[in-house]
Amino acid sequence: MYVNTSWYKTQSHLHLANQLTITMKKKLNILFILVSLSLLGIIVFQVYWSISAYKVNKTKFDTDVDVAMQKAMDDCKKDYFDSIRMVMVRRLSDTGTKIKVDTIKIDEKSSVSSPKSGTGLKVNVSTKSTTTELEITVADKYTGLQPYKISVTDFDAYRAKISHKNATVAEVLVETSFYTPLLLENLKILFGMHDFATHVLTFKQSVTKDKKGMPVLSSKMNEFGIFQSPTNFRQADSLRLSSHLKAELDKMHIPSPFSLKVSDSASKPQKLNLHYSETGEYSYKYHGFVFLHMVGAEFFMRAVFHNPQYAILKSMVITLLLSALLIALTIYSFYYIIRLVIHQKKLAELKDDFINNMTHELKTPIATITVAVEGLQKFNALNDAEKTQRYLQTARTELSRLDSLVTKVLNVAAFESKDIVLEKEKINVDDLINEIISTERTKSDKKLNITYTNNDIKTIYADKLHFRNVLVNIVDNAIKYSNEPFNIAINCFKQAGNAVFAITDNGIGIPEAHISLVFDKFHRVPTGNVHNVKGTGLGLSYAKYIVTAHGGDITVKSEINKGSEFIVSIPLSNG
């Protein structure tokens, strides 16, 4: 009696495979946790680094805008004094103003100590030196200044401070006044007395009440001339300072919008934070054109930046983009690693399943052949011609099946190593399909209903062996996964210059989740309650490779419990 021990070995192999699967799942979970922790750490570090970098840039921003404000104030001051120069020079150059320059020589006595000859004693010796000075007198028909004396050397030094050559006496006198407070005050008095004499004074009268409720008439003299404040000078000062501050910010590449806060008295600044910035508060006295910083109102200016984060982030955009790119690259790398590990795990499981299925597939014909040989040897079957023929036919059928299995595995191994060379030839389509149908009916012990329709395709140009294997694999699957009665239809037709072979069955169908995977190596679709379907998971993968090598394509349509349709197309002219 023949005892098949392969079942026990298979169960042992399955138990070992289950243990390895459980171990692999544990290791995969550990890998996932470690990768997640590493990724979380990288993200946290990058976020912390970005926040720290933002704080540093915010501090720099506050410093830069304050420096820009100081420079803007200096620019306003320069504009102010340039305006004073322009007005003073114009006033001194007026035809009603006369400037007289006299050259005088002054003798100065000086004593020099020298040792007396032969005694070592010092004797004071008086000497005389002569210096040349300029005596400048400024006057008009209303008033005049006391003569102002200046040495020729100093006069030339102040002339050299003027940017252009051939400066007039009026220009040099104005330049000198900015370094000589007394002269500046005298010029101010000169211009003021002139304005007082040439302007009509007006008084603004108003009626008020004293403590007893009695009406009191009061009047106030208007400001005029060099003492008159410009119209809307507060707004004018804000516009001037805003213009200079924006120019300085542009030089520093700080595009943040701001607003000026103008007050009549110093105020306590607001506390800075990550979303708010303001400059220091600076005194502003540069109203109008002439001398108003001496008598005009004093303002306190500061610039407020309500949304500095946009300018700060813009300055950090390259750094932040590189940081985001690093995080994205890290996430993708970890995702790729995990996906690769999962893919390898699935591939390992599929290989294990393939080995188990292949073991069953190989064991069955070997066991059948062994039984047939034992029957011939031990039960005198050789004396019975009919038994001998039946046993030999059984052995031959199983050997053919075994050869088919080995050939299929070798073909798959060959196309993986790119060793398959297609030997294309003209193939009669009707002969090819009819041969396949005849072979399938002979192999199967079930009643098959296979219909074939050809819509005017006589020949194709392909490798007969491999293309036949493609169609055989598809028809085999249709038979394996169909329920009785077996209805299989093969239709051939032309479409867009291709020869199309559509093979339709009435089988159990393919779940939608597996349709895109049926052409993957080792993949087998779960069959639910059907447990007697054997296979290697290589047939459709091999078919996909062969069809692609012919320049064609293979697709599948399927519905659960309604059947599947495999569509193979190759070019009609395929040289």
Is residue 111 domain-resident? no
Q: How much is the pLDDT for 530?
A: 45
Residue 121: which pLDDT band, with cuts at 50, 70 and 90? very low
User: Full-prediction pTM beyond 0.85?
Assistant: no
Q: What is the DSSP letter of 273?
A: B
Q: Which domain range does residue 454 map to? A: 420-571
The mean of the pLDDT values for the chain is 78
Mean pLDDT, residues 394-415: 70
Quote the CA–CA distance of 250 and 252 in Å, as a whole number.
5
CA quadruple 64, 67, 73, 76: dihedral, nearest 10: -70
Is residue 255 domain-resident? yes
Is residue 381 domain-resident? no
Question: What string of DSSP letters covers 61-114?
Answer: HHHHHHHHHHHHHHHHHHHHHHHHHHHHHHHHTSTT-EEEEEEEEEEEEEEEEE
Q: Which two tokens stand for residue 383?
A: 């004396």
Q: What is the DSSP letter of 144?
A: B
Is residue 147 domain-resident? no
Q: How much is the pLDDT for 356?
A: 65
Q: How much is the pLDDT for 526?
A: 61
Residue finishing a domain among 286, 308, 330:
308
| Comparison of pLDDT for 547 and 445, the residue scoring more | 547
Range of lowest pLDDT (27-31, 156-160, 249-253) = 27-31
Q: How much is the pLDDT for 237?
A: 87
| Amino acid occupying residue 485 | P
Q: Is the peptide bond before 485 cis (omega within 30 degrees of 0)?
A: yes
pLDDT > 70: what percent of the chain?
A: 77
Q: Is the pLDDT of residue 10 over 60?
A: no
Contact call for residues 276 and 305 (beta carbons, < 8 A): yes
Please give the angle made by the CA atoms of 47, 49 and 52, to the nearest 5 degrees: 110
Is residue 450 domain-resident? yes
Q: How much is the pLDDT for 116?
A: 45
Interacting residues of 519 by C-beta distance below 8 A, sequence separation 6+: 540, 541, 543, 544, 554
Residue with tokens 């001398």: 291
Interacting residues of 56 by C-beta distance below 8 A, sequence separation 6+: none
Q: Tell me: the pLDDT tens digits for 434-458?
A: 888 887 777 766 677 888 988 888 8
Residue finishing a domain among 308, 327, 343:
308
Is residue 511 domain-resident? yes
Interacting residues of 59 by C-beta distance below 8 A, sequence separation 6+: none
Residues 426 and 567 in one domain: yes
Q: Is the pLDDT of residue 320 over 60?
A: yes
| Comparison of pLDDT for 206 and 300, the residue scoring more | 300
Q: What is the DSSP letter of 224?
A: -
SS3 453: strand
Q: How much is the pLDDT for 411?
A: 64
Pairing of strands 122-139, 148-151: antiparallel
Residue with tokens 């030839």: 425
Mean pLDDT, residues 349-364: 68
Q: Is the pLDDT of residue 34 over 90?
A: no
| Number of structural domains in the chain | 2
Q: How much is the pLDDT for 31?
A: 78
Q: Is the pLDDT of residue 375 over 90?
A: no
Q: Is the pLDDT of residue 61 over 80?
A: yes
| Comparison of pLDDT for 445 and 242, the residue scoring more | 242
Alpha helix locations (H) across 446-518? 464-480, 512-515
Residues 430 and 303 in one domain: no
Residues 426 and 294 in one domain: no
- CA 382, chain centre distance (Å): 83
Residues 285 and 425 in one domain: no
Quote the CA–CA distance of 350 and 572 in Å, as a whole number.
36
Q: Is the pLDDT of residue 374 over 70?
A: yes
Q: Tell me: the pLDDT tens digits for 66-99?
A: 999 999 999 999 988 888 888 888 888 887 888 8
Is residue 195 domain-resident? no
Range of lowest pLDDT (73-77, 454-458, 476-480, 481-485) = 481-485
Residue with tokens 């329709």: 453
Q: Is the pLDDT of residue 416 over 80?
A: no
Is residue 298 domain-resident? yes
Mean pLDDT, residues 154-162: 91
CATH number reported for the structural domain that contains residue 496 in this entry: 3.30.565.10
Question: What are the Cα distances from residue 128, in Å, to 20, 110, 123, 154?
Answer: 118, 6, 17, 21
| Comparison of pLDDT for 62 and 188, the residue scoring more | 62
Quote the CA–CA distance of 472 and 5 in Å, as a whole number.
32
Side-chain-side CA neighbours of 484 within 13 Å: the count stands at: 4
Residue finishing a domain among 308, 329, 346:
308
